[in-house]
Copies of this chain bind each other. A is one copy, B any other.
């Protein structure tokens, strides 16, 4: 009998009523003849509530104790789901990360899964029970409780599916993967299938549906993923490893737009490699991730250099720029916080040339200035002014057939 791992996120188990609905969905899958393992997140806003409690007893809550606190969130939802399953006549058993011995590194709040002992799960599946597992959590050395950090429950689900050689279904509050966040591009198309390579790229560029760690893991262990709505029955999106025959022959599969970076510009820098080397090494020392970078000659022996860094590192970047200015007062600097970084992603870009040219043309025709542009094997990213975001999304979306007509 095949094993299916299903994962339900926080909003899907947000109320007792919703938990009862999830139980129905799980039972339906079981009745289709599968063995079912369910991973659940903490109910709705419970993690926020617990975090708020912590902030009321301590300004900087101890991170080990934070994990002791936060792991209760999923413990509540697994027990409630198991009860709801029993109540609907389906034998079930819940396990915390600790009970299942989901071994992780010991870094609190950012642990990584090392191994999962699935013996107990197989035992209970053999008794024809549904097994309900707490996502987002595990144990480090000495039974220390740990949590996995952002997107943790998806990662738990994929890791468990990998270990059980199962397929993995992620049920969430959106009904699949779209060419572009439908809140930003109204007529975005839902993809019936996407490759894990493309999905990884989109996730790391900020597409919010899946966390990139979980997609990477699914890619690495060749776990078939399926993303669909927890609330209705419309078909979702399959995420497959490598090309698939059913793949649509499109050059560009999806688009993202992100506000998580800012643009830093140093003008009239000495035009030699030392300047660039120094930017990178100073940023690296401060653990600031420099992403896009562009350079332009300004005058004899001087150049302009522009790069993006994460928005949360604005203060660090500002300090560094000021220090350069003090050393060499010819240098001018500016920080632009009103930018967006847009990207298009597609395996087809490997074999199709002219994608960058088409982007330039489309944007230029609409008077949108590109401030920076970079390209890698399967994505093309550019920075524009934040005020141009909506127009650019529409233009590129239509131009690359990412919208339904």
Which of B16, B61, B83, B145 is the one whose CB lies under 8 Å from A62? B83
Q: A66 to chain B: which residues have CB within 8 Å?
A: 79, 83
**A96 in the interface (beta carbon within 8 A):** yes
In the A-B complex, list the 9 residue pairs whose CB atoms are closest, starting with the nearest.
Answer: A16-B56, A58-B87, A69-B79, A68-B79, A72-B72, A57-B84, A58-B83, A65-B79, A65-B82
Q: What are some 29 contacts across the A-B interface (CB < 8 A)?
A: A16-B57, A19-B57, A20-B57, A54-B80, A57-B80, A57-B81, A57-B83, A57-B84, A58-B83, A58-B87, A61-B87, A62-B82, A62-B83, A62-B86, A62-B92, A65-B83, A66-B79, A66-B83, A68-B82, A69-B76, A69-B79, A69-B83, A72-B75, A72-B76, A96-B145, A98-B98, A98-B99, A99-B143, A99-B145
A124 to chain B, nearest CB (A): 11
Q: A404 to chain B: which residues have CB within 8 Å?
A: none
**A319 in the interface (beta carbon within 8 A):** no
A255 to chain B, nearest CB (A): 40
Q: How far is the CA of A143 from the CA of B120 in the complex (A)?
A: 11
For residues 41 through 69 of chain A, which have their beta carbon under 8 Å from a beta carbon of chain B?
50, 53-54, 56-62, 64-66, 68-69
**A78 in the interface (beta carbon within 8 A):** yes
Q: How far is the CA of A76 from the CA of B52 in the complex (A)?
A: 12
Q: Are A58 and B84 in contact, CB atoms less than 8 angstroms apart? A: yes
Q: How far is the CA of A80 from the CA of B70 in the complex (A)?
A: 11
1/0 contact string of A114-140 vs chain B (CB within 8 Å): 000000000000000000000000000
Q: Are A64 and B80 in contact, CB atoms less than 8 angstroms apart? A: no
Q: If A57-B20, A64-B93 touch, does A80 touch B84 (CB 8 Å cutoff)?
A: no
**A71 in the interface (beta carbon within 8 A):** yes
Q: How far is the CA of A20 from the CA of B55 in the complex (A)?
A: 12
Q: A23 to chain B: which residues have CB within 8 Å?
A: 57
For residues 291 through 320 of chain A, which have their beta carbon under 8 Å from a beta carbon of chain B?
none
**A94 in the interface (beta carbon within 8 A):** yes
By secondary structure, the A interface counts as: helix
Q: How far is the CA of A397 from the CA of B368 in the complex (A)?
A: 90
Which of B50, B78, B145 is the one whose CB lies under 8 Å from A68? B78
1/0 contact string of A1-40 vs chain B (CB within 8 Å): 0000000000000001101100100000000000000000
A393 to chain B, nearest CB (A): 42
Q: If A62-B82, A83-B61, A87-B59 touch, does A68 touch B96 (CB 8 Å cutoff)?
A: yes
Q: A17 to chain B: which residues have CB within 8 Å?
A: 56
Copies in the complex: 2
Interface residues of A (CB under 8 A from B): 16-17, 19-20, 23, 50, 53-54, 56-62, 64-66, 68-69, 71-72, 75-76, 78-84, 86-87, 92-94, 96, 98-99, 143, 145
Q: How far is the CA of A217 from the CA of B66 in the complex (A)?
A: 34
A143 to chain B, nearest CB (A): 5
Q: Are A69 and B65 in contact, CB atoms less than 8 angstroms apart? A: no
Q: A79 to chain B: which residues have CB within 8 Å?
A: 54, 65-66, 68-69
CB closest residue in chain B, given A15: B56
Q: Are A69 and B75 in contact, CB atoms less than 8 angstroms apart? A: yes
Q: How far is the CA of A47 from the CA of B9 in the complex (A)?
A: 24
CB closest residue in chain B, given A93: B64
Q: How far is the CA of A64 from the CA of B17 in the complex (A)?
A: 21
Q: A86 to chain B: which residues have CB within 8 Å?
A: 58, 61-62, 65
Q: A87 to chain B: which residues have CB within 8 Å?
A: 57-61
Q: A61 to chain B: which residues have CB within 8 Å?
A: 83, 86-87
Q: A19 to chain B: which residues have CB within 8 Å?
A: 57
Q: If A19-B57, A20-B57, A75-B75 touch, does A68 touch B84 (CB 8 Å cutoff)?
A: no
Q: How far is the CA of A86 from the CA of B66 in the complex (A)?
A: 12
Q: How far is the CA of A86 from the CA of B68 in the complex (A)?
A: 14
A147 to chain B, nearest CB (A): 12
